[in-house]
């Protein structure tokens, strides 16, 4: 597996990452890591690879865009000195353009999104042992849907940034698309954005596959 023994993994993002995690630092027992994919990743790493003693920290904040992520990057990423960093941001950058169309000050368009993401990754990358970049997603199978089409454009940015920084790339949209061949979107998320436990397991699974998690690993 890509993450090594005694390494710290910080996972940062918006509400999809947050999931009611402990404040100010999402780490510890019970629901300190929240109730979403971060907690599921931690549970599987801890049970599947107990000897590695990987430390997982959840630094998601509900409502974040890449712009608001930038405002806390020093405190919530750089100061925590992670060995591995996972970033999933962009859903609100797109969503605010659709659910708050007249509040243009809240819109983070594609150019700002890419420039800011590159700036943040550029600051963190030199001290990291590993980096995971996860695309934002919209749980909608119709690629012609306006919000789905825009979300795909932001996902393409993440792919480019990952390639430029030798990051592990996680295509969360593709992972949901595979499941959406068999189920209706509302069975994964009523608003097509905030996944239920099954949807979060889709995220946890594709993340673990990307870091070469072995389900048949012996403890």
- Note the pTM of the prediction, 2 decimals: 0.96
Q: Which one of the listed residues 14, 15, 93, 200 is annotated catalytic?
A: 15
* Whether 200 is catalytic: no
User: In angstroms, rounded to a whole number, what is the distance separating the alpha carbons of residues 96 and 118?
Assistant: 21
- Look at the domain 8-210 and name its fold: Rossmann fold (3.40.50)
pLDDT tens digits for the chain (219 residues)? Answer: 999 999 999 999 999 999 999 999 999 999 999 999 999 999 999 999 999 999 999 999 999 999 999 999 999 999 999 999 999 999 999 999 998 889 998 999 999 999 999 999 999 999 999 999 999 999 999 999 999 999 999 999 999 999 999 999 999 999 999 999 999 999 999 999 999 999 999 999 999 999 999 987 765
* Whether 212 is catalytic: no
How are strands ordered across the β-sheet holding 130-134?
A: 55-58, 8-13, 84-88, 130-134, 168-170
Which tokens hold the place of 170?
């996680």
Q: Which one of the listed residues 14, 18, 93, 194 is annotated catalytic?
A: 194
User: In angstroms, rounded to a whole number, what is the distance separating the alpha carbons of residues 84 and 98?
Assistant: 33
């Amino acid at each position: 597996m890509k993450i090594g023994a005694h390494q710290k993994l910080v996972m940062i993002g918006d509400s999809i990452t947050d999931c009611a995690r402990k404040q100010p630092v999402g780490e510890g027992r019970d629901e300190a890591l929240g109730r979403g994919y971060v907690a599921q990743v931690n549970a599987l790493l801890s049970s599947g690879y107990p000897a590695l003693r990987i430390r997982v920290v959840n630094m998601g904040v509900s409502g974040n865009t890449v712009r608001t992520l930038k405002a806390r990057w020093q405190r919530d990423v750089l100061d925590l000195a992670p060995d591995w960093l996972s970033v999933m941001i962009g859903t609100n950058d797109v969503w605010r353009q659709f659910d708050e169309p007249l509040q243009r000050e809240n819109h983070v368009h594609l150019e700002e999104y890419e420039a800011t993401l590159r700036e943040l990754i550029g600051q963190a990358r030199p001290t990291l042992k590993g980096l995971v970049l996860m695309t934002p997603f919209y749980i909608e199978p119709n690629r012609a849907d306006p919000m789905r089409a825009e979300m795909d454009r932001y996902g393409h940015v993440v792919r480019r940034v990952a390639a430029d920084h030798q990051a592990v790339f996680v295509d969360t949209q593709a992972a949901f698309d595979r499941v959406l061949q068999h189920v209706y979107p509302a069975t994964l998320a009523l608003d097509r954005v905030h996944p239920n436990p099954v949807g979060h397991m889709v995220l946890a699974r594709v993340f673990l596959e990307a870091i070469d998690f072995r389900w048949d690993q012996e403890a």
